Structure formats: structure tokens, C-alpha cells
Chains A and B, each alone.
Chain A
Amino acid sequence: MNVPEDLKYSETHEWVRLEEGQARVGITDHAQAELTDVVYVELPKIGAKVQAKAPAAVVESVKAAGDIYSPVTGTVVAVNEALENNPALVNTDPHGEGWIFLVALDAPEELAQLKNATEYRALIGE
């Protein structure tokens, strides 16, 4: 399983990449492998307030619908519109082209509570 060193991870299998005070969010390689075959992504609205550990988006595979929890608190400033036509990007490039939303942080100190790559590998048993 691909667990990039430069990302932070939540216990609910989202990743965060810090980009100049904003946090880009997606689901981990492990999460997409568990879900498989993503067929629909319900994106948050730009301008929406998201709370850490609260549902912010929905990813649906053929198998099931899964809530995506925002790892951080803040305001959604961008969403990955490419997923509307190509939701499978979540499977093919979960940490890159398959990102889901970008958040302007309200509380950057929350990032300290997220896991690093080593801790996340331990969580998924690798």
C-alpha cells in the first residue's frame, strides 16, 4: 500500500497535504482499495464550513456508500470537479489527481493530532 511520507493521515483513512496554509484532502490508497470501483463522489460546496471528524463528502463504490470525514476544521475553497466525470481517479491516483477538496484552515494546530506515515502504516497493519 502506498503511504507517502509527506502526508498526514486521519484514523478514518483520509489524507491531508499542507499547501501554504490550506489543506488538500483525499482518501488513502488503503481506503480506495477497500472501497474499490468508485462510481460517484458527492463533493462539498465551495464556501461550506467543515468540522474536523465530521462528514464532508460521500464516496460511493459499486459496493457501498462511504462518508468522507474532514480531517480539519475550516472553509472549503476548492473541490475536485474532475471527479464528477471521472470518479475512478480516486482509485487510480488517490493521493494526486483523485484529491477531493481543499480547506482554508481555521485551526492549524489540529494538524498535530493527525498521524504521520509511520503511524498510519501501523494503523492499517503494515
Chain B
Amino acid sequence: MVDFGGWHMPVQYSGILDEHHAVRNTLGVFDISHMGEVFVSGPEASTWLNLLLTNNVDRLGIGESQYSFLLNERGGVIDDLLVYRLEESKYLLVVNASMIDEDVAWMQSHLRPGVLLENRSDEFAGIAVQGPLAAQLFDRFFEGKISRPARNEIQRYEADCTPVLIARTGYTGEDGFELFFQAECAPTIWNAILEKGADLGIKPCGLGARDTLRLEMCYPLNGSDLSPDRTPMEAGMSFFVDLEKPEFIGREKLAQQREKGVGHRLVPFKMKGKTPPPRSHYTVFKDGNPIAETTSGTVSPTLGIGIGMAYVPAEFARINEEIEIDIRGRRFPATIQKKPLHKK
């Protein structure tokens, strides 16, 4: 067990490798109650969110979601989050556990009339079911009472214990669902999922597998791969930035970077051959010179090789570029790769 954003959470249950393979091959279930749930509603909700976030909520139909960034004035990332449009003028933002207070304080300080902001993180629990058999488990669990939401969509279901928001989203690269509901019902729902999934090979998964799974997909982790000093453009996330919007916090810097290019770029890399696993804050070398520090690293359970990410100078941010990673004073060869590192 470790402390994570003020939560006492398991790094693993049966073991990171075992849990990782369960998600890639069958099913895994994650307790994501630490994630923050912030509701935004009111007649000005859409306009206000478009001023605060990089993506464009006007593109969302009711029940749809998008990945987005909350930026500071310098274009740096305060947090990355998912925006779900629940109703015409009601949104759910799912934010990182460690950033709930900071996000809400930032939003409060920019609040406008016509917007209601409710941080309901404490009353909500969350469970993610991820893996290729997720749809099968969904059908069993709801016994045909509701149809599966489409990829990136969310819907509401009235369970005996609590209303449940069910989204077809996740952080693993596999098919899956994320459920958000009243916290007091968490043990009931958790146990029911494990029971219904038992013969499908479902495994409870901890933070360790969550990290290896997301890193194989090159999904950035805030606090590691994202920071207030790096923009979404530098993180290679311009797809989630709508510069057609005339105004949003941080826009100026991002527009400038689109025009002139970025100095550094977040790239994934793969070690060559058998090496110790790379980890965060290891020095990256190119032609004998230090050029960067790793932001994430692990051994990929699927590929059986060390992988990681780093912000390298743009001139080196090319696929197959040869680099070296310093691990305890020895340098090991690696190559820059295309995203994602795990392809199906």
C-alpha cells in the first residue's frame, strides 16, 4: 500500500505482471475512487469551459466525452482531464486525485455568473473495468437492461443502491468501462463485478499495473510527463487543443508554438536488448551529451523490454533516433519510437 494523492492505495494485488497481463488478455478491475469528480452546470457552463480548457466542448453531443487540458497563463499543464457532457448544460470533469484541490481553486478563481461548480469528489467512488472481455462482462452485469455505451460515451443507470454513470473510457488502451457512483455502494459493486467476472479471469489491479498499462500506450501521467512548465504542444497532445477557439487560458503560448515550433518534445523510447528497467529522472544522452531527463520508465510487461518517455530537444525527436539512458552510471542504448509503444 502507498499514499497516493492522500489516498491509501494498493500498488498491486496478485502482482503487477499478473494484473497487467489480465488486462491485456482478459479483464482487470481498478478502484479509481481517488479520481476527482467535478460537476459544472448552468447556462454559461459551455462558454466557461471553453475558456478554461484546451479542447472544444461544443463538439460534444450529450453523452459524449473528450480529453482536455487545464492550463496556466503560460500554457503549462495544471491538469489533464476527461470532460463528459451529461446534459445540454451539465458536465462532469474527471480529474487527477492529487490535483483536485488545485484544479477547483483555479476554477473558483475564474468562476463567472451563470456557472455552478460542484466538487463532489468525496461522495463519489469509481471503478474501472478494462480488458478485451469488458463488453461481455457488461452484458452479464446489466443483464440486457441497458445497451453498452459507445466508445467515449457515458450513460446513466439506476442501480438498486445508487445511480451509476457508466462511461466507455479508460487508461489502459483496452476496451473498458468506468463507473462513477455514490461511495457507500462501492463494496457492493466491486464485489459484484469480481463475482460476475470470475470465470472470465478478472483480476483486481493496483496502481502498478495502471502505470505499466498506460505507459505502453504512451498516455501521459500528470506530475511525471505533464507539468506546469510544459505545454500540450510539447507533450505531443495538440490533437486535444482547439486553436480555432478565439480565447482560452494559455492559448497565446500554444498559438506561438504552433507557428514557431516547440523546443522540446515528449517522445517514447524503447531500450535495446537486455538492460535494467529505465525509471523517471534518469539522464538521456545523445552523442555523449546529456540532452534530457526521463519523465517515466518501466519494463513493459507486454514487450518484455524497458520503455519510457522524455522531453528531448525537437531536433532529436525523430523515430528510430539513437539515444542512451544513464542507469546508475552506465549508459544503455535506446531508440525513440512512435506512439503507442504497444500496438495491437
Which residue numbers of A lie inside 8 Å of B, CB to CB? 36-37, 39-40, 42, 58, 60-63, 65, 84
Contacts and interface: CB of A to CB of B under 8 A. Distances in A.
Contact of A63 (B12, B274, B276): B12
A40 B298 contact: no
A63 B208 contact: yes
A93 to B, nearest CB: 16
A36 B277 contact: no
B279 A39 contact: no
Interface string B12-29: 100111001000000000
Interface in B169-215: 208, 212
A62 B300 CA distance: 8
A58 B276 contact: yes
Given A42-B328, A62-B277, A65-B279, A36 B16 contact: yes
Nearest to A41: B276
A108 to B, nearest CB: 31
Nearest to B276: A40
B53 interface: no
Q: Taking chain A's interface residues, is the majority helix, strand, or loop, or is none over half, making it mixed? A: strand
Interface residues of B, number: 17
11 contacts: A36-B12, A36-B16, A37-B15, A37-B16, A40-B299, A61-B16, A62-B16, A62-B208, A62-B298, A63-B208, A65-B279
A33 to B, nearest CB: 10
A71 B298 CA distance: 29
Nearest to A85: B274
Interface in B267-324: 274-277, 279, 298-299, 301
Contacts of B17: 36-37, 62
A61 B301 CA distance: 11
Contact of A60 (B11, B16, B20, B277): B277
Residue from the set A39, A40, A61, A84 with the largest chain B CB neighbour count within 10 Å: A39
